Amino acid sequence: MKHSWVTGARAPDCDFSLANLPYGVFSTGGRGPRCGVAIGNCVLDLAELAAAGLLPGADLGFDQPALNRFMAAGADTWANVRSRLTDLLAEGGDPALRENAALRERALISLDKARMHLPVDVKGYTDFYAGRQHAFNSGSILRGPENALTPNWTHMPIGYNGRASTVVVSGTPVRRPLGQVMGADGPKFGPSQRLDIEVEFGAIVALPTELGQTLTVAEAWDHLFGFVLLNDWSARDIQRWEGQPLGPFQSKAFATSISPWVVTRAALEQCRRPGPKRDNDLLPYLQEEADYFLDVKLEAHLAPEGAAEASRIVQTNTAYLYYSAPQLLAHHAVCGCRMQTGDLLGSGTISGPERQNFGCLMEQSWGGRDEVALEHGGSRIFLQDGDSVTLTGWGEVDGQRIGFGRCEGRILPAPTQVGKAF
């Protein structure tokens, strides 16, 4: 098992071990956004490494403010760059970076001095409903357990097209949305009172398809670059009123937060697991011939404004999903939909069998019926202004943590009137 010589990379709670090497986009001081890799307590500037001639291949766009060009280069390029980075960062590896003090000074930057940006230019965003427990819980709250799952749910991934324009990087504040909600005497307008989180896993599409092209599940896996943490903030009262007959619209269009680091398929290879027991056989185009599910632990912590410590409110795992990321992509493309480099596919809320595994407050409060106690005092039913929510996630490979960093957002008050600048 190899370890890195970079400070902090061997710490047992470090998200960014040598086995990980996630990609992101960062800026520092007067220099604009460019691509980097997280290692230990640092971000490694890939533009500097490329300029020094230490990376293989042609221009991969590491001086650009998005990973899209590198992602579009394909799996052989990804593997070659990963192998080279591992050699440069490993104890006993190539000393070209380790023993070049001037290059180390330029290329290895403390994470606390880096400002993170969206890691990819998100071309399209589709959110799915791929967690069986979440679908059953939500359906039970709305329709009763006997009608919880719609007849189509166990046969195909259900999804809707979200807004790429409001996908934001961790740390971006989230403003409480205005909208219509159902009242006793008709619709009312105002700030959402049932603002919620959704603990999700996001898959990043790297290789595009042509209009009319379809993908098998195995081909879809090869088209994916990696994964991010994803919080699809949701206004449940707006959603309840607008959701029939076409599903979510403004209740989810106001913000979707993702983590700044994209953890690659290669880093998670040893975290792959078999899928769940099926309620019924899937149609052939959705059947899997390999293990495409992942064992990644997920948590959500909530900190009220001014709180000294955040309270953990969710513990769940990507293994609870009913449909895998390549199944989502294969289903998305089966009609001939053109997929693009940078497309983001959200899993939908990931919930497990126990209350602490439920991935949103709507489930934990059972539709607003029950208060959710916070371990450090107070309670919530839905989010209040000033609340900060942080998602974390990690797998483990040979004793090294494969972490995603943090996906965080703080709730700001709604606008005081329509059309007023803020």
Catalytic residues: 134
CB-based contact 392:403 (threshold 8 Å): yes
Sign (positive or negative) of CA dihedral 213, 214, 215, 216: negative
